[in-house]
């Protein structure tokens, strides 16, 4: 057997290594007076993975079934296996059938010394394989950090050799034949008018083909490959290696803005769970059947296109369960559904009084958090100054020889531990506590007059708005019977509903509760489970960007997670809260927060 590199570097299809190995093995057989009955060759294979070696497995099958083999001759023991486990299993299989393994270049046999040498060589081969793998991985990492492309160039680029200062450098260059098609693929998909299947067919018609290889001819780019290509940041100039990203040396084929628009379309289609085939509509993936919901089943509405005898086209939404007869909800014309959704937005509007009151509560809460953080910052700074003074005193005592050196060193180590702990907490106090409040502010602004906002949006903006506010809209005939709001819209509406109830007793019964405790006040309900405390992990939150038209929203990989800590959960007075809010003391446990998310929106007129 030989490696792939040895096979590809000679005119002989077997490469350089295999003919040399054959000569040595034949000489060994002549020396022992053995007759060669068959030869098993594996060009371009590695002994690291036993299950992928077809010829080797065929040889073992012959040994087990025909039983016409007394000796197996290999060039080196490393050609059998590169780890001790595989070596032991193969040797056990051969010995069970009285077959002796002979190395043409190494002194191994069935004697005790030969078996000792066999074990040493097997161990060394495994070490060499692992050490080489680690070395290659390190060098690949360094190449990626330097911006080099690893392995085969993606579609739109080609691997080339470049001469630099008398050296031959392996690098990549833009493929003049396929690169223009890659750019067209991003531009067409960014229009939102193409599915992946449509785009693959369009590119094929225009002349895009994959690069041919020795095994496979040029063919149409598959949908899965096209999907990977549209998500690959290599085309904007970055190299990815083991979950890290580095700036590449290659020439980008597309700009960041085009890539961002493509990612937006991919994410919005994925968020709706929409299977894009032929018929497109911005409500696909957001509409569900109300009758099925009442029966305890969640089922989407799907889109159907109908053409009558006069070639007039009609579009309908209908429940998928009608296809098997389990739902009798009628077909609904798309125009009626669009009007119903627009009218439904009036039901999710926040009143001006509620918006003003919530903003006031949040401003007060943030002010208290910031005051507590400033107090804690001053206290930690004072503690650090005390530690510095104590350290100086100890150093003076050490110079005078008053205290034992071992005791002084122990105290200095203790001071250093305390200093690192205080510095860590001091760094945590600098974190911004207002990001969660900004998210709520965006939510309030979105639903101050959502119906008018929805009317001014185009189809793509309506899709984003629906996916940001609703998990689903439930349709019964030609009306929206119910909705499922996303957080924090659902919690904000719960607070508004409670505040609109005339009696406080009814309000307490309707408020969301934590465990078995009493109902919380308005601010507690609003800020419950939104936590930015430095002592807790941060969830993934995509904060809605400033709403404007038609600036594209930031790509998913540029957003930062944030939380807002709720001080009102702890039943403590203002002075205690000021001392304890920035980081919980022993006995005050930080609660895990729910992850509130919102799509990055860019809508007109807000």
Is 246 or 267 the better-scoring residue by pLDDT?
246
Residues 10 and 140 in one domain: yes
DSSP 139-194: HHHHHHHTTPPPSSPPTTEEEEEEEETTEEEEEEEE-TTTHHHHHHHHHHHHTT--
Residue at 259 is within a domain? yes
Least Cα distance to 556 among 260, 272, 271 occurs for 260
Residue 231: is its pLDDT beyond 80?
A: yes
pLDDT level of residue 534 (50, 70, 90 thresholds): very low
pLDDT level of residue 477 (50, 70, 90 thresholds): confident
CB within 8 A of 83, min separation 6: which ones?
48, 125, 126, 129
Q: Pairing relation of β-strands 100-103 and 71-74?
A: parallel
Exposed/middle/buried for 535, CB within 10 Å: 0-12, 13-18, 19+? middle
The CATH number of the domain holding residue 242 is: 3.90.1750.20
Residues 123 and 213 in one domain: no
User: Which of residues 243, 271, 299 is at a domain's end?
Assistant: 271
Residues 140 and 167 in one domain: no
Residue 498: is its pLDDT beyond 80?
A: yes
- Look up residue 503 and give its DSSP letter: -
**What is the model's pLDDT at position 339?**
93
Residue 480, classed as helix, strand or coil, is: strand
Is 403 or 77 the better-scoring residue by pLDDT?
77
Residues 179 and 219 in one domain: yes
Measured distance CA(18)–CA(13) in Å, rounded: 10
Residues 131 and 97 in one domain: yes
**What is the model's pLDDT at position 539?**
33
Is 19 or 2 the better-scoring residue by pLDDT?
19
- Average pLDDT estimate for 478-492: 89
Question: What is the overall mean pLDDT for the chain?
Answer: 77
Is 151 or 15 the better-scoring residue by pLDDT?
151
Q: Any idea which of 133-137, 165-169, 358-362, 401-405 has the lowest mean pLDDT? A: 401-405
Is 172 or 437 the better-scoring residue by pLDDT?
172
Q: What is the largest CA-CA distance in the chain?
A: 108
Measured distance CA(287)–CA(270) in Å, rounded: 15
Q: Any idea which of 395-404, 407-416, 537-546 has the lowest mean pLDDT? A: 537-546
Residue at 50 is within a domain? yes
pLDDT digits (tens, 9 = 90+) for 37-85: 999 998 766 656 777 788 889 999 999 999 999 999 999 988 888 888 8
pLDDT level of residue 476 (50, 70, 90 thresholds): very high
Is 28 or 460 the better-scoring residue by pLDDT?
28
User: Which of residues 78, 111, 145 is at a domain's end?
Assistant: 145
Residue 294: is its pLDDT beyond 80?
A: yes
Q: Pairing relation of β-strands 313-319 and 332-333?
A: antiparallel
| Tally of domains in the chain | 2
pTM of the complete model = 0.45
Q: Any idea which of 316-330, 332-346, 541-555 has the lowest mean pLDDT? A: 541-555
Measured distance CA(411)–CA(387) in Å, rounded: 11
Q: For 345-447, where are the alpha helices, taking DSSP H only?
A: 352-400, 405-428, 435-446
- Average pLDDT estimate for 300-326: 85
**What is the model's pLDDT at position 430?**
52
Vertex 333, ends 332 and 334: CA angle to 5°? 115
Measured distance CA(53)–CA(134) in Å, rounded: 23
Residue at 548 is within a domain? no
Residues 52 and 94 in one domain: yes
**What is the model's pLDDT at position 568?**
36
Residue 277: is its pLDDT beyond 70?
A: no
- Look up residue 204 and give its DSSP letter: H
Residues 12 and 139 in one domain: yes
Beta bridge partners of 476: 479
pLDDT digits (tens, 9 = 90+) for 4-33: 544 454 445 555 678 889 999 999 999 999
Residues 32 and 120 in one domain: yes
CB within 8 A of 509, min separation 6: which ones?
519
Residue 131, classed as helix, strand or coil, is: helix
- Look up residue 603 and give its DSSP letter: -
pLDDT digits (tens, 9 = 90+) for 85-120: 888 999 999 999 999 999 999 988 778 888 889 999
Residue 370, classed as helix, strand or coil, is: helix
Is 274 or 439 the better-scoring residue by pLDDT?
439
Is 326 or 576 the better-scoring residue by pLDDT?
326
Least Cα distance to 30 among 59, 73, 60, 91 occurs for 73
Residue 463: is its pLDDT beyond 50?
A: yes
User: Count of CB atoms within 10 A of residue 289's CB?
Assistant: 26
Measured distance CA(186)–CA(243) in Å, rounded: 24
Domain membership of residue 177 as a residue range: 157-271
Residues 141 and 167 in one domain: no
Question: What burial letters (b/e) apply to 458-487, b meaning 16+ CB within 10 Å?
Answer: eeebbbbbbbbbbebbbbbeebbbebebbb
- Average pLDDT estimate for 399-410: 74
**What is the model's pLDDT at position 589?**
33
CA 194 from chain centre, in angstroms, equals: 25
Residues 108 and 130 in one domain: yes
Residue 517: is its pLDDT beyond 60?
A: no
Residue 605: is its pLDDT beyond 50?
A: no
Residue 336: is its pLDDT beyond 80?
A: yes
Residue 278: is its pLDDT beyond 90?
A: no
Residue at 400 is within a domain? no
pLDDT level of residue 549 (50, 70, 90 thresholds): very low
Q: Pairing relation of β-strands 301-307 and 287-289?
A: unpaired
Residue at 52 is within a domain? yes
Residue at 538 is within a domain? no
Task: Establish whether the linkage from the previous residue to 550 is cis, with ω within 30° of 0.
Answer: yes
Maximum mean pLDDT: which of 214-228, 295-309, 589-603: 214-228
pLDDT digits (tens, 9 = 90+) for 366-385: 777 777 777 877 888 888 88
The CATH number of the domain holding residue 62 is: 3.40.50.1390
Residue at 534 is within a domain? no
Residue 393: is its pLDDT beyond 90?
A: no
CB within 8 A of 78, min separation 6: which ones?
47, 121, 125, 128
User: Which of residues 238, 271, 304 is at a domain's end?
Assistant: 271
Residues 202 and 109 in one domain: no
- Look up residue 210 and give its DSSP letter: P
**What is the model's pLDDT at position 73?**
94
Residue at 449 is within a domain? no
Residues 15 and 139 in one domain: yes
Residue 19, classed as helix, strand or coil, is: helix
């Amino acid at each position: 057997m030989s490696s792939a590199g040895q096979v590809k570097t000679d005119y002989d299809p077997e490469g350089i290594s295999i003919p040399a190995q054959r000569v040595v093995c034949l000489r060994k057989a002549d020396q022992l007076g053995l007759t060669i009955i068959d030869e098993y060759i594996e060009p371009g294979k590695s002994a690291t993975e036993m299950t992928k070696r077809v010829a080797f497995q065929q040889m073992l099958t012959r040994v087990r079934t025909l039983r016409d083999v007394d000796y197996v001759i290999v060039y080196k023991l490393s050609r059998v296996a590169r780890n001790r486990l595989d070596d032991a299993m193969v040797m056990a299989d051969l010995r069970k059938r009285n077959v002796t393994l002979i190395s043409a270049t190494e002194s191994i046999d069935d004697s005790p010394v030969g078996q000792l040498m066999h074990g040493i060589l097997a161990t060394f081969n495994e070490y060499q394989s692992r050490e080489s793998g680690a070395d290659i991985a390190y060098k690949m990492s360094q190449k990626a950090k330097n911006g080099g492309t690893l392995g085969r160039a993606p579609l739109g680029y080609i691997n080339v050799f470049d001469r630099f200062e008398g050296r031959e450098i392996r690098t990549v260059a833009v493929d003049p034949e396929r690169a223009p098609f890659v750019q067209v693929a991003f531009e067409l998909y960014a229009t939102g008018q193409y599915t992946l299947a449509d785009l693959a067919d369009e590119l094929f018609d225009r002349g895009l083909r994959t690069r041919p290889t020795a095994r496979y001819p040029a063919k149409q780019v598959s949908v899965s490959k096209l999907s990977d290509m549209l998500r690959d940041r290599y085309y904007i100039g970055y190299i990815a290696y083991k979950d890290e990203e580095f700036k590449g040396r290659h020439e980008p084929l597309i700009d960041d803005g085009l890539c961002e628009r493509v990612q937006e379309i991919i994410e919005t289609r994925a968020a709706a769970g929409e299977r894009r085939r032929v018929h497109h509509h911005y409500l696909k993936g957001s509409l569900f059947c109300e009758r099925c919901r009442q029966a305890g089943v969640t089922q989407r509405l799907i889109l159907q296109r109908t053409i009558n005898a006069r070639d007039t086209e009609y579009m309908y939404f209908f429940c998928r369960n009608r296809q098997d007869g389990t739902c009798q909800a009628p077909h609904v014309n798309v125009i009626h559904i669009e009007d119903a959704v627009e009218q439904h937005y009036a039901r999710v509007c926040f009143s001006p009084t509620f918006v003003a009151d919530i903003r006031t509560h949040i401003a007060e809460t943030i002010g208290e958090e910031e005051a507590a953080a400033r107090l804690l910052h001053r206290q930690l700074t004072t503690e650090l100054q005390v530690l510095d003074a104590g350290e100086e005193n100890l150093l003076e005592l050490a110079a005078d020889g008053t205290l034992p050196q071992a005791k002084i060193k122990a105290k200095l180590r203790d001071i250093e531990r305390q200093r690192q702990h205080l510095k860590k907490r001091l760094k945590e106090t600098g974190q911004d506590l207002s990001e969660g409040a900004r998210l709520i502010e965006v939510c309030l602004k979105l639903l101050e007059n959502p119906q008018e906002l929805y009317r001014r949006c185009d189809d793509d903006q309506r899709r984003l708005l629906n996916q940001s506010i609703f998990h689903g809209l439930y349709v019964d005939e030609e009306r929206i019977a119910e909705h499922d709001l996303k957080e924090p819209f659902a919690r904000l509406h719960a607070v508004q509903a409670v505040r609109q109830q005339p009696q406080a007793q009814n309000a307490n019964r309707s408020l969301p509760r934590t465990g078995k405790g009493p109902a919380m006040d308005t601010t507690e309900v609003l800020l419950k489970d939104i936590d930015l405390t430095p002592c807790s992990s941060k969830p993934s939150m995509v904060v809605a960007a400033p709403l404007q038209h038609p600036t594209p929203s930031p790509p998913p990989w540029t957003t930062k997670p944030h939380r807002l800590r709720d001080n009102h959960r702890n039943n403590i007075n203002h002075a205690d809260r000021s001392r304890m809010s920035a980081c919980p003391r022993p006995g005050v446990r930080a609660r895990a927060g729910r992850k509130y998310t919102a799509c990055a929106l860019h809508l007109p007129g807000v």
